[in-house]
Amino acid sequence: MQKDDLILISVDDHIVEPPDMFVNHLPERYRAEAPRLVHREDGTDVWTFRGAVMPNVALNAVAGRPKEEYGLEPQGLDEIRPGCYDVHERVKDMNAGGILASMNFPSFPGFAARLFATDDSDFSMALVRAYNDWHIDEWCGAYPGRFIPMALPAIWDPELCAEEVRRVAGKGCHSLTFTENPAVMGYPSFHSEHWDPLWRALCDTGTVLNVHIGSSGRLAVPSADGPPDVMITLQPMNIVSAAADLLWSRVIKNYPDIRIALSEGGTGWIPYFLERVDRTFEMHATWTLQDFGGRLPSEVFREHFLTCFISDPLGVRLRHDIGIDNICWEADYPHSDSMWPDAPEELHAVLEREAVPDEDIRKMTHENAMRWYSFDPFAHVPREQATVGALRGSAAGHDVSIRSRSHQIIEPAEKLKAYHARAQAAVAAAAGE
């Protein structure tokens, strides 16, 4: 398949929320208390809510910027591409990058919306509903067929969470973002019956549970004095723990229709993981009392888990060891792992080098995403207008140049100092200090 003939649906991108997102959807009685975007004297923009401050971090919105501007320091909206927070500019960036459709994870509320879990359940629920309605009706609704809608959970109450899953499913949303480890966040683990109302709602509505790397809030750093490269390398590792936790849990056995996406977790590790779980089952099931109804854990994994990759040559090579129906592509716009606007070139080079047949390409680039998320972009965008070549042709003249946007250039030594301070706090928190 030629590069321009690819049809790309990304199952992992991100939003930097715009300041007016609550205006049309939060009841008036709550608006004075709502999270708000504050512009600070140093030029940065931060979300504030009940004493908490959530900055935009410079690894989270680097599309179109030089690598010298990567880092963990806060930044202002005028330092990032408008496509990060403006849906009209986002679609232009998608066209220029050859991307037909995108599923967008939240930023400031956190992947599991723990920020919204206040001591007032009615207020918390109003925030979750307002966010979800803004995301589904305004962000996704502005361009039908271009976005897979995703909902935030009411993580503090499984009954309310189930109710919200059913409500948004009625609006065509079949994707829920969640945490990779609720116990780390102070909630019951996946092994508890606590979450049963949520599992039932997900199964009843055909909604996918998406556990994104970093969604537990745990910083993957073994020591405070190590370089940030260690943390960046280990970021996907928490998702391996989540996969094992869920695969061996009662959830898979009691809810056979449950579907779980391991978001931004990559794929190259999965063949070994599947060999390991089968070996574990073979050697220990007699005393751990695991029972998958006569099947191997690896077989059950392929029934329930979706994985995704950006380029991942090893995962593409081993796609049939993973399960060709369990793999989707992601762009990760506008984060630092993204290759926007050249993602089609990077992906096509891998597909060509591995001699991937067209049937497998179609599954990984868009067909699996459509099936897993009950999403049909071709109801709105004719197939001939959905290819990389056609989308890029419609974006002629759109600026995709790499250029500096930062108000000030922060020296690497200062960036490393800020990283180590954050890492030290994370290690201390993990040690219970």
Give how far the C-alpha of residue 361 lies from the chain's centroid of Cα atoms, to the nearest Å: 22
Angstrom distance (rounded) from CA 214 to CA 114: 13
pLDDT over 90 at 169, yes or no: yes
Cis peptide, bond prior to residue 334, ω within 30 of zero: yes
Q: Which of 36-50, 165-179, 217-231 shows the lowest per-residue confidence on average (mean pLDDT)? A: 217-231
* Residue 222's pLDDT band (cuts 50, 70, 90): low
Q: Confirm if 378 and 144 have CB atoms less than 8 A apart.
A: no
pLDDT of residue 43: 83
- Model-level pTM? 0.94
Lowest mean pLDDT segment, chosen from 68-82, 146-160, 218-232, 321-335: 218-232
> What is the rounded CA–CA span in Å between residue 125 and residue 122?
5
pLDDT score for 218: 60
The overall average pLDDT reported for the chain is 91
Mean pLDDT on 234-243: 82
| Average pLDDT of the segment spanning 283-298 | 95
Percent of the chain with pLDDT over 70: 93
pLDDT, tens digit, 9 for 90 and up, residues 369-379: 999 999 999 99
Laid out side by side, the sheet with 52-57 consists of 36-39, 45-49, 52-57, 74-75
Residue 75 has a pLDDT of 82
Please tell me the predicted confidence (pLDDT) of residue 237: 74
Tokens of 53: 């401050």
Nearest to 149 by CA among 18, 267, 13: 13
Does 429 have pLDDT greater than 60?
A: no
Q: Worst-scoring range by mean pLDDT, 66-70, 204-208, 335-339, 383-387?
A: 66-70
Q: State the average pLDDT over residues 413-433.
A: 64
Choice among 194-208, 217-231, 271-285 with the minimum mean pLDDT: 217-231
The pLDDT score that the predictor gives to residue 7 is 98
Return the bridge partners of 176, or none. Answer: 151, 209
Taking 60 as the threshold, does the pLDDT of residue 431 lie above it?
no
Q: What is the mean pLDDT of residues 187-209?
A: 97
The pLDDT value recorded for residue 65 is: 84
Give the pLDDT of residue 433: 44
State mean pLDDT over 73-101: 93
Paired strand residues for 261: 210, 306
Q: Under a CB-based contact definition with an 8 Å cutoff, are residues 58 and 66 in contact?
A: no
SS3 letters for the chain? CCHHHCCCEEEEEECCCCCCCCCCCCCHHHHHHCCEEEECCCCCEEEEECCEEEEEECCCCCCCCCHHHCCCCEECHHHCCHHHCCHHHHHHHHHHCCCCEEEEECCCCCCCCHHHCCCCHHHHHHHHHHHHHHHHHHHHCCCCCCEECCECCCCCCHHHHHHHHHHHHCCCCCEEEECCCHHHHCCCCCCCHHHHHHHHHHHHHCCEEEEECCCCCCCCCCCCCCCHHHHHHHCCHHHHHHHHHHHCCHHHHHCCCCCEEEECCCCCCHHHHHHHHHHHHHHHHHHHCCCCCCCCHHHHHHHHEEEEECCCHHHHHCHHHHCHHHEEECCCCCCCCCCCCCHHHHHHHHHHHCCCCHHHHHHHHHHHHHHHCCCCHHHCCCHHHCCHHHHHHHCCCCCCCCCCCCCCCCCHHHHHHHHHHHHHHHHHHHCCC
| Contacts (Cβ under 8 Å, ≥6 apart) of 208 | 174, 175, 176, 202, 259, 260, 261, 306, 372, 373
Q: Residue 101 corresponds to which tokens in the numbers above?
A: 């459709």
Query: Out of 25-34, 36-45, 135-144, 150-159, which region has the weakest mean confidence (pLDDT)?
Result: 36-45
Cα(311)–Cα(348) distance, integer angstroms: 9
Q: Reply yes or no on whether the pLDDT at 261 is more than 60.
A: yes
d(CA 369, CA 224): 38
Check pLDDT > 70 for residue 393. Answer: yes
CA distances for 57 relative to 44, 75, 77, 338, angstroms: 10, 6, 11, 15
What is residue 230's predicted lDDT score, i.e. its pLDDT? 78
Domains in the chain, CATH or no CATH each: 3-16+96-398 (3.20.20.140)
How do beta strands 52-57 and 45-49 pair?
antiparallel
Give pLDDT tens digits for 313-343.
999 999 999 999 999 999 999 998 899 999 9
**Taking the CB of residue 214, how many other CB atoms lie within 10 A of it?**
18
Instruction: Please say if the pLDDT value at position 247 is more than 70.
Output: yes
How many residues are there in the chain? 433
What's the mean pLDDT in 271-298?
96
Count of beta carbons in the 10 Å neighbourhood of residue 377: 21
